[in-house]
Amino acid sequence: MTTKASTGLRNHMLATGSLKAALDGGFLELYGCPEISIPATADAALDPVVHKLLARIYSDGTSAGLTLSTTAADGFIEKLDSQTWTGTVIESGTVRFFRFVGASDAGGLSITLPRLQGTVARAGADLNITSVDLAVGAPQAVNFFSIALPAF
């Protein structure tokens, strides 16, 4: 699976501003669900019965939004080096996908909200983490995060 940008994020980048401007201040949310239930697009609504929010990642571990680097290189932008992206697992489960969303995104169907969605695994995914099996109450870190735009 490749990282999927929502219609809102694509439109923002085409006419309004940067990917950084659209996502800064937002959160990285880690979801569990059956693999077949990963949403087909970043525009799709999340069903809380099927798509379990396992952890929300903050820049300070508890409440502050995330920030991307002030510079991009070779078509990539990464997390801001000075931030420690962490959160506490709120429900046990196996992470299947992530969404990088704005602070006010409630997960409903939207073609206007900026979102980035991708797969999560130990290796070979859009976001690789040490273990995809999360236990409630445990800390969860995202030590490396980068977004690439393809060559046109």
Say what the pLDDT of residue 145 is.
Answer: 97
pLDDT digits (tens, 9 = 90+) for 78-101: 999 999 999 999 999 999 999 999
Say what the pLDDT of residue 6 is.
Answer: 97
Say what the pLDDT of residue 83 is.
Answer: 96
pLDDT digits (tens, 9 = 90+) for 113-138: 999 999 999 999 999 999 999 999 99
Q: Vertex 104, ends 50 and 72: CA angle to 5°?
A: 100
CA distance 25 to 60: 12
Say what the pLDDT of residue 152 is.
Answer: 82
* pLDDT higher than threshold 90 for residue 10: yes
Say what the pLDDT of residue 150 is.
Answer: 85
- Alpha carbons within 13 angstroms on the beta-carbon side of residue 149 total 14
CA distance 115 to 64: 18
